[in-house]
Amino acid sequence: MDPREIIARRAARELQDGFYVNLGIGIPTMVANYVPEGMEVILQSENGMLGVGPYPVAGTEDADLVNAGKETVTEIPGTAYFSSADSFAMIRGGHVNLSILGALQVDRQGNLANWMVPGKMLKGMGGAMDLVASARRVIVAMEHATKSGAPKILDACTLPLTGSKVVDTIITELAVMRVTVEGLVLEELGPDATVEQVQRLTGTALIVAESVRRMF
Amino acid sequence: MNKIYPSAEAAVADIGDGATIMIGGFGLCGIPEDLIAATVARGVKNLHTISNNMGVDHVGMGLMLEAGMIASHIGSYVGENKLLEEMVLGGRLDLTLVPQGTLAERIRAGGAGIPAFFTPAGAGTIVAEGKEIREFKGRSYVMEEELTADFSLVKAWRGDRMGNLVYRKTARNFNPVMATAGRCTIAEVEEIVEPGELDPDSIATPGIYVHRVVRWTGYEKRIERRTVRGGGQ
């Protein structure tokens, strides 16, 4: 299985019926493809929409209907639109059950860096700082290490933070890790992954749970 | 009462050098393109802009940037604009990046008479540097101040001569809050209807916030990322 698919499939198992969920750009967006059959999950898009539907059929794109990644999307029966202020009021108010987003770095305390690399192109944080500060649960869904094999899961983030002590769970193609006061607890291994391999690609000592399971 | 102006040019005729201007939209969705074009045509300088984004090259606020009329900008995401980066690094434009929800709430506060508020967004990050931090219920919150503007340029779907506005889908975004925070709010609408034709229960911006209304010229709205079912852009 493609690493990105493993991550998205595993992250989708964190969804629950009736959840309101905000998905970040990239792998997190793919989570929507794996919502279990029969489960109703409402996607929140911070530009002002609850009930984000699939991409439109070619020829029916609507310039007035985009997600937070500025991609054309569709509505579902029950969709609601609102202003940016209302959108972040529902986020800040803790009404969004789950925020799944990518990261450049995460550390053992649950600090997250995903918006800025000094010396690289200026982009901006968009809604990420608001989301991680206030969603009821924050899951980082990302590839375990960089393309060159450098760890992204560290003792302490070196890049400017998006949020301090905000991450609850990290899901990669190799592992599921829970952030605890003692450090990161390795709870699940990806298909074919070993504890040694995960530790080698991680920049902080992992606490291996007594009963480490396979993801699937 | 008749807030309708004959053209975008007439509606922005008193925007002068050094004005602070809020511009609605999220990316290129729901931006007041005619009002932006008319402002660019005025050739004013040293504008202070507040908008979530900065358009893209040659579209939306990208045109204002290319015209060299922006001295400072407050926004949350400007990643689509190479020229902006050059200008910031070259010291020709003062850029302030703000978390998107904080930006929306600062504008809402400005329109609602709230001078400042505390938010958890950005606590423990560089966004909080130099700001008052206070603990509530065991958590750190950052004090953020209101934003207002001399002019708010907003885009709506339909409006009437009293300034009542209705938006369409996600083109609503920052437009309703910015409408409340401008000392002069100018709305560009696709259709002007008679008072009474808009469902009073559905009016998102009551006319009290809107000072001028202009009808758009019917341009084709740009799509920033065309995505369709079955993959592909």
CA A25, CA A27: separation in Å to the nearest integer?
7
What are the DSSP calls for B36-89, one per residue? HHHHHHHT--SEEEE-S---BTTBTHHHHHHTT-EEEEEES--TT-HHHHHHHH
Picking from B84, B121, B229, the nearest residue to A129 by CB comes out as B121
Nearest residue to A143 via CA among A25, A41, A7: A7
CA B84, CA B206: separation in Å to the nearest integer?
35
CB contact under 8 A, B226 and A61: yes
Q: Is the pLDDT of residue B232 over 70?
A: no
Tokens 């990290």, located at residue:
A170
Contact in structure between A85 and B177 (CB atoms under 8 Å): yes
Picking from A56, A84, A161, the nearest residue to B174 by CB comes out as A84
Contact in structure between B33 and B55 (CB atoms under 8 Å): no
Query: Which residues in chain A (112-131) have CB-CB distances under 8 A to chain B?
Result: 121-130
CATH 1.20.120.330 is the classification of domain A3-173 = no
Picking from B107, B122, B169, the nearest residue to A64 by CB comes out as B169
- What are the residue numbers of the active site of A? 46
Q: A25 at the B interface (CB within 8 A)?
A: no
SS (H, E, C) chain A: CCHHHHHHHHHHCCCCCCCEEEECCCHHHHHHHHCCCCCCCEEEECCCEEEECCCCCCCCCCCCCECCCCEECCEEEEEEECCHHHHHHHHHCCCCCEEEECCCEEECCCCEECCCCCCCCCCCCCCHHHHHHHCCCEEEECCCECCCCCECEECCCCCCCCECCCCCEEECCCEEEEEECCEEEEEEECCCCCHHHHHHCCECCCEEEEEEEECC
Query: Other C-beta atoms within 10 Å of B63: how many?
Result: 18
Residue A51, class by beta-carbon neighbours within 10 Å (0-12 exposed, 13-18 middle, 19+ buried)?
middle
Q: A4 at the B interface (CB within 8 A)?
A: no
Tokens 């899901």, located at residue:
A171
The distance of B28 to chain A (nearest Cα, Å) reads 8
Domain boundaries, chain A: 3-173
Rounded to two decimals, the ipTM of the complex is: 0.96
pLDDT computed for residue B19 by the predictor: 98
CA B48, CA B230: separation in Å to the nearest integer?
42
Contact in structure between B62 and B86 (CB atoms under 8 Å): no
CA B59, CA A23: separation in Å to the nearest integer?
27
* A156: amino acid identity, one letter: A
Contact in structure between B213 and B142 (CB atoms under 8 Å): no
Q: How many residues does chain B have?
A: 233
Residue A10's DSSP bridge partners are: none
pTM of model > 0.80: yes
Q: What is the pLDDT of residues B21-80, one digit of tens each?
A: 999 999 999 999 999 999 999 999 999 999 999 999 899 999 999 999 999 999 999 987
Phi, psi of A48 (to 5 degrees): 125, 45
* A45: amino acid identity, one letter: S
Residue-level pLDDT, tens digit, chain A, 216 residues:
899 999 999 999 999 999 999 999 999 999 999 999 999 999 999 999 999 999 999 999 999 999 999 999 999 999 999 999 999 999 999 999 999 999 999 999 999 999 999 988 889 999 999 999 999 999 999 999 999 999 999 999 999 999 999 999 999 999 999 999 999 999 999 999 999 999 999 999 999 999 999 999
CA A109, CA A94: separation in Å to the nearest integer?
21
Q: What is the pLDDT of residues A50-63, one digit of tens each?
A: 999 999 999 999 99
CB contact under 8 A, A122 and B88: yes
Picking from B85, B173, B226, the nearest residue to A84 by CB comes out as B173
CB contact under 8 A, A66 and B222: no
Measured between beta carbons, which residues in chain A are less than 8 angstroms from residue B125?
Answer: 129, 160-164
Residue B29 per-residue DSSP state: B
pLDDT computed for residue A98 by the predictor: 98
Closest chain A residue to B103, measured at CA: A85
CB contact under 8 A, B225 and A163: no
* B97: amino acid identity, one letter: L
